[in-house]
Amino acid sequence: MDSLAATLRTRLRAVADPASAPGMQAYMKSAMPYLGVSAVPLRAVCKAVFADLRYADQAEWQRDVLDIWRGAQFREERHAAIELTGIRAARPFQTLEALGLYEEMIVAGAWWDYVDSIVTQRFWPILQHDPAAMKRRMLAWARDDDMWKRRSAILSQLKAKAETDLDFLYACIEPSLGSQEFFLRKAIGWALRQYAWTDPAEVKRYVAANEDRLSGLSRREALKNIG
């Protein structure tokens, strides 16, 4: 019987458009090649291949995710591994125990499409399940030498809305306020802009109080949707 990873690869190749692969790779500035599978057919393949999966425990689920992730030859396979982290059968596993898995994927992936897919979809459930421990880990990530871990910490509450812990958000932003990195400046603005849907006055206050420390990009992003 084929492994899950082998079955997935076969199904992805069956829907690939090789002619579109070079353009996709160029657009993403990716060293890893593409098969030529766009988002809609990719999700359809994942839905079909992962539909009947059940896991006895978190370790079994993580093995399947990492088998696909580590063995990937094409970028779509890594996106499929991220899809596997979000299936219904994996909902009980969105705990602090999964953070090591996500850390490997974030550090090894080291690009915005992987990082943002993981962080925006998976970190808020962990924060809800293990708030104190997850916040400690994110505060450490916010000061890490790895830019993508810093970005992850800044964006970790993106889905929190009214449940956003502002002290925690600002503490995650603080170490990167002076950074010249585009992806950190963009993340700061994105996190603030997202919270502005809940409390625009607070975001305006924070931007004004930190006007000389926030980059122009971060300020523009933060205030983009505020009248």
What letter would DSSP give residue 145? Answer: S
Residue 171 in any domain: the answer is yes
Residue 227, pLDDT above cutoff 90: no
Per-residue exposure over 144-180, b if at least 16 CB sit within 10 Å of its own CB, e if not = eeebbbbbbbbbbbbbbeeebeeebbebbbbbbbebe
| Domain membership of residue 163 as a residue range | 131-227
Q: Please tell me whether residues 145 and 84 are part of one structural domain.
A: no
In a 13 Å sphere around the CA of 86, the CA atoms on its Cβ side amount to 16
Question: Would you say residue 122 lies in a domain?
Answer: no
Q: Is there a domain that residue 112 lies in?
A: no
Using CA atoms, how far residue 115 sits from 73, 80, 196, in Å, is 18, 14, 22
- Residue 70 sits in the same domain as residue 11: yes
Which residue among 41, 68, 93 closes a domain? 93
Check whether residue 80 and residue 139 sit in a common domain: no
| pLDDT tens-digit map of 172-211 | 999 999 999 999 999 999 999 999 999 999 999 999 999 9
Tokens describing residue 156: 């970790």
Task: Identify the pLDDT of residue 201.
Answer: 97
Q: What is the mean pLDDT of residues 15-21?
A: 97
How far apart, in whole angstroms, are the C-alpha atoms of residue 173 and residue 6? 41
Question: How many structural domains does the chain have?
Answer: 2
Q: Compute the mean pLDDT over every residue in the chain, rounded to the nearest whole number.
A: 97
**Residue 106 belongs to some domain of the structure:** no
In a domain? residue 100: no
In a domain, 214, yes or no: yes
CATH number at residue 179: 1.25.10.90
**85 shares its domain with 13:** yes
pLDDT in tens, 82-126: 999 999 999 999 999 999 999 999 999 999 999 999 999 999 999
Full-model pTM: 0.95
Residues 162 and 225 both lie in one domain? yes
